[in-house]
Structure 1
């Protein structure tokens, strides 16, 4: 039986009876691109920082950086085109070894079964149709994935970065999901969908344990971090919600637009989603880690979404934003926060970028991208306020002024983005 379970409140997870905040790192290319020595160092780094889930593609990532590891799940002459009739068992043995190392370190695995470029009728396979999988092989492949990895109690992420805009794509993912459910009924299952997408076919919903959405890497559209959280919270059957791909640190903006995401952008995406309905967890990404860039190795000819050049993995793994995400999990755990209920309507006349939620015991959390005075549409007598500087971790008192039907919250003193906490004395 899977040790990771859905919380009784249906909005989060538990692990061995304790609350579990899904704090993942994106390392899609692990099985094809990372040496075992690099993997050991990587695991230690992310464990120290507080991460507890690793998101990995079971197939070669289509827009990964090329490496000299030279292992693939199927026979290939060039590392690009695969022969789906010839398994390479050495790939799976090595992947199993990496999974064992990760699980022994304390990580949960979230393994993608079928990334979109392997599926016809998706936006990815329309760009590159080099390795579209034969439909009759989908069930066989999904069965293989369960046979190889099920002993590690993974989360099965049945789709990767996909849309469901064609009957052909839906048919492929139906075959994969059906087989995973048959072979591994006890495991948790979900689907990773494309940036800004808010549609999962109804036929899948009763077999998915939680929702993943992707606010993604478009400079214009970062409001998807909270808009998609609100959509899934409001319109879909109650399940945990995770932003499984917010903007990655130092990722170049999509479509070759000039600019890169900074730690502030990542914090904003994370907290905006968490306080808008996606309180089950969030995923970090570093540009150079997800695709495992190595100095001197050529880029993959598949450009995917047209990002700027990645940093070497050995440098990207030390980006500071990873600590900001570790802080999120530590803060929620230290304060005993199990569920966050969106409370946006209580904010009076303020930007949608400011996000607010309330706990079951009526503590209020407000994410403020820039310091400003706030008015809460509720009289909070007997409450006090504090602000957490999300850059330094410092805290400061915040003055509350209750009036008839509302409460004024003074501007906090920090110059960066902050988290305001209001709770009873």
Structure 2
């Protein structure tokens, strides 16, 4: 793009200087540490932090300040808590300037970030604006220092841009500049570690971040589809939590069933799916065979991951991650401009999963599919493929939840909930509404049929110890 004349650029940026947080904006809560049992992310106040991420890989690179404000405000309204964005962006972020004509590096050298005097005169000033504005809206930035291509593939003079030495310097510089803000560091960037040199490079960047931020921020690693950070770094002292990319498929079997094994690793570390199937994405990258995903396809991974032990979940939209609009080269045929795609239904439905989990005690929640009674035909219940049932419960017996991806009757073991009476609810993951279906004696097995049977309708059965008097599922939990 042709840079704006300097006088116009200064005037444009002056109109978009960071405004102070308004009284109606959410209180900022940023993740600060991992719980003592290794299962949860905790905020500065010591309370659980629910990682509800949105994927905005090209946020720093492609959006101007007005567009960034539009995007961030929308995601804050929809209940997201983390925005995943890349400093050195995938789509030629090293050589194609940002919206204001700025590049991130001097001579493609990661040890020399391109900085100029003044508050709005370089690439990193724009990153500052977006990070600060996100934080003011209560959003943490899942900050990727670089997309993986720049440390994994030849870019300059037949070599990657990064090596172990400049990766450490770049990490330290980023840590000093952003370590005092609401960020989570995410290394990797859709690439796997294939040799010892690459592993040393990643570890050097992690140590650099730690030097720069003084150890204040959490760190994870984002791999390619079907992989998890645990494969290379589970025992690394710098890896705060494991991140998976379960990938752009619709089946639980062979895809989302990988979350539970990471949860079960020792020593325990929190696990999150940092890249499941995006909304409006070519399913399995084969649109001519499978078509494009819809909201139901992205809801299923939300509950599959959460009920398998994840400490949160990440949503993505195929138009939004690349911030596509007419005039930009499309990647894998996005269906809508990014600003229209913000309102596709899957994004708003993610908050229902967060609110459901937060409406019951969180710290003692564990995955437990054993409370689902297998049907005569087990491929029906608990099911397989895209129709797999999963369950989670309170270790202390105060509640249980079963996700039914189809409107099919099923049976559960009642004794996983304590107390002589069990209060049952149907929770609608499409609307966030809950319907009480009564109290039942806590004995044996009981069969439940969803309120609207049908193969395209998913539901969640919530069972409570009636004596606990929990609020309806999805409503705030207080005093417990």
TM category, shorter: 0.7 to 0.9
Structure 2 distance, partners of 1:308, 1:130, is 30
Partner of 1:358: 393
Answer yes or no: is the 8 Å Cα contact 1:248–1:261 preserved in 2.
yes
Matches within 5 A, 1:23-422: 23-62=52-91, 68-75=99-106, 82=108, 84=110, 87-89=113-115, 90-120=122-152, 125=153, 132-135=160-163, 136-184=165-213, 185-198=215-228, 199-202=230-233, 205-219=236-250, 221-223=251-253, 226-258=256-288, 259-278=291-310, 280-299=311-330, 307-349=332-374, 350=381, 351-352=383-384, 353-362=388-397, 363-379=399-415, 381-398=420-437, 406-414=444-452, 415=454, 416-422=457-463
Structure 2 distance, partners of 1:181, 1:95, is 20
Distance 1:105 1:344, change over 3 A: same
Distance 1:334 1:378, change over 3 A: closer
Structure 2 distance, partners of 1:54, 1:130, is 33
Answer yes or no: is the 8 Å Cα contact 1:253–1:260 preserved in 2.
yes
The offset of 1:382, in angstroms, is 1.8
Answer yes or no: is the 8 Å Cα contact 1:243–1:283 preserved in 2.
yes
Partner of 1:79: none
Distance 1:129 1:364, change over 3 A: farther
Structure with the bigger RCO (C-alpha within 8 Å, sep 6+) is 1
Mean Cα deviation higher: 390-399 or 413-422: 390-399
Distance 1:130 1:153, change over 3 A: farther
Distance 1:396 1:66, change over 3 A: farther
Structure 1 distance, partners of 2:157, 2:273, is 28
Structure 1 distance, partners of 2:99, 2:91, is 16
Answer yes or no: is the 8 Å Cα contact 2:53–2:314 preserved in 1.
yes
Q: Deviations over 1:195-237 (max 9, x none)?
A: 1114432575322111111111135x55355312111011242
Distance 1:385 1:66, change over 3 A: farther
Distance 1:116 1:361, change over 3 A: same
Structure 2 distance, partners of 1:22, 1:129, is 39
The offset of 1:54, in angstroms, is 1.1
Structure 2 distance, partners of 1:181, 1:165, is 24
Structure 2 distance, partners of 1:203, 1:374, is 37
Q: Deviations over 1:80-118 (max 9, x none)?
A: xx4657632211111111111111111112111232211
Partner of 2:4: none
The offset of 1:28, in angstroms, is 1.0
The offset of 1:346, in angstroms, is 2.5
SS at match of 1:181: helix
- 5+ residue gaps in structure 2? 1-29, 116-121, 375-380, 467-480
The offset of 1:262, in angstroms, is 0.9
Tell me the matched-pair count.
406
Distance 1:35 1:68, change over 3 A: closer
Answer yes or no: is the 8 Å Cα contact 2:422–2:442 preserved in 1.
no
Structure 1 distance, partners of 2:158, 2:335, is 24
Distance 1:105 1:134, change over 3 A: closer
Partner of 1:17: 46
Answer yes or no: is the 8 Å Cα contact 1:118–1:129 preserved in 2.
no
With normalisation by structure 2, the TM-score equals 0.77
Structure 2 distance, partners of 1:365, 1:273, is 13
The offset of 1:411, in angstroms, is 0.9
Answer yes or no: is the 8 Å Cα contact 1:401–1:408 preserved in 2.
no
SS at match of 2:179: helix
